A and B are shown apart, each in its own frame.
Chain A
Amino acid sequence: MKIENHVTLEFPSRSANEGFARTAAACFAAQLDPTLEEVNDIKTAVSEAVTNAIVHAYPDILGKIVLRLRIREDHALEITVKDWGVGIADVDQARTPLFTTGSEERSGMGFTIMESFMDTLKVRSAPGRGTTVTMVRRIARRAGR
């Protein structure tokens, strides 16, 4: 798949960066001329993926998170959130609705939200090596453009 444009952002796992990451993703996605609902879906999914990395990948330390955004020739946005943290031993269990290892301000619905707001969601993880979440959202081409 040909990539028409891309940007890569690296930041430490501070929770203040959750808002930055989703807003940056929304700004970059604007090139695809999305509807407000499509922008909100992207913001929500990015917020979930980045929050997972901040809360779960690096529970006690500040670690590196990389957010890569790519615009594909098929008018889709590919979002990759990568960390080098503790990893997930059982990805299927982590993706189960309501499952969480976090504290009570977590709902266990992060992956469920990402799945329902994106077209595809792929999670690759190895304990001790980190996690890569890749999501794709196609943006409808609007008539008259």
Chain B
Amino acid sequence: MPVTCKEENRRLTAAVTGELDHHGARAVMEELDRRIDLAQPRELTLDLSGLTFTDSSGIAVLLRAHRRMGQVRGVMRVVSTPDQAGKVFQAAGLERIIRFE
């Protein structure tokens, strides 16, 4: 479950690719935590275009990254959410908390 990050001018972009489930969720969370702590970004863009599957583990990953960004006084947006992931996030009402573009 790879996370690829790039940072420029305190804007962090993280692309999560492959299948995200409980088996891989902790590693993704820890990698995002580490990158946020290191970059202290003003903005985090989570690019989900390469996410081929997620279950409710993805909800926990997004909420954790959102909370972490709040702690460093930055904002988070989620882009290119595939249909399958979007349906999972919508069932959880995540769009009330997280900005999807």
Contacts and interface: CB of A to CB of B under 8 A. Distances in A.
Contact of B64 (A40, A104, A109, A110): A104
Going nearest first, the 4 A-B pairs with the smallest beta carbon separation are: A15-B23, A107-B59, A47-B55, A107-B60
A39 B63 CA distance: 26
Contact of B19 (A19, A97, A107): A19
B8 interface: no
Interface of A: 15-16, 18-19, 22, 37, 40-41, 43-44, 47-48, 51, 54-55, 97, 104-107, 109-110, 112-113, 116-117
Main secondary structure of the interface of A (DSSP, over half): helix
Given A51-B57, A107-B57, A18 B84 contact: no
B21 interface: yes
Contacts of B3: none
B55 A105 contact: no
Contacts of A112: 56, 91-92
Interface of B: 19, 21-23, 25-26, 29, 53, 55-57, 59-61, 63-64, 83-84, 87-88, 91-92
Nearest to B19: A19
Contacts of B84: 37, 40, 44
Given A19-B19, A54-B22, A105-B22, A44 B57 contact: no
26 contacts: A16-B23, A18-B22, A18-B23, A37-B87, A40-B84, A44-B53, A48-B55, A48-B56, A51-B22, A51-B56, A55-B22, A97-B92, A105-B22, A105-B60, A106-B22, A106-B60, A107-B57, A107-B59, A107-B60, A107-B63, A109-B92, A110-B55, A110-B56, A112-B91, A113-B88, A117-B91
Contacts of B55: 44, 47-48, 51, 110, 113
A19 B1 CA distance: 12
A109 B55 CA distance: 9
